[in-house]
Amino acid sequence: MLKKINTIKTMIKVSDTAKKKIIDLMTDDGFDAAHDYVRVGVKSGGCSGLSYDLKFDKTKGDDDKIFVDNDIQIAVEKKSFLYLAGTILEFSGGLNGKGFVFNNPNASRTCGCGESFSL
């Protein structure tokens, strides 16, 4: 008899550079990365139709799904869940710009600034 193995797909992966920047920013803003959340979501807007939303939060909402990757707790509202599955959150500090970058495999089109997308 075969044993059924449940696999859990990581919702959002956090790169090492993004983790370091998140911890630094959370500390600067009075948050604790060990207990508080990085809230990631999707909202209407941007030149491609949808845009990413990232902020820090001390509380978990009733409609939140919580994921942990690279020791970072990520809160995602149910309505954003399907848009973000498999996304990798990275931080770029290069000459072309500085900030968080969402590498989203679900996006069929992104804008030039990388802050909005469509499916």
Contacts of 3 (CB under 8 A, 6+ apart): none
For residue 48, give Cα distances in angstroms to 56, 102, 107.
25, 14, 10
- The answer, yes or no, to whether residue 38 has pLDDT greater than 60, is yes
Mean pLDDT over the full length of the chain:
81
In this prediction the pTM is 0.77
Least confident of 30-34, 54-58, 90-94: 90-94
Confidence of residue 29 (pLDDT cuts 50, 70, 90): very high
- CATH topology (fold) of 12-118: Hypothetical Protein Aq_1857; Chain: A; (2.60.300)
Query: pLDDT tens digits for 65-107?
Result: 999 999 999 999 988 888 888 999 999 876 666 788 888 887 7
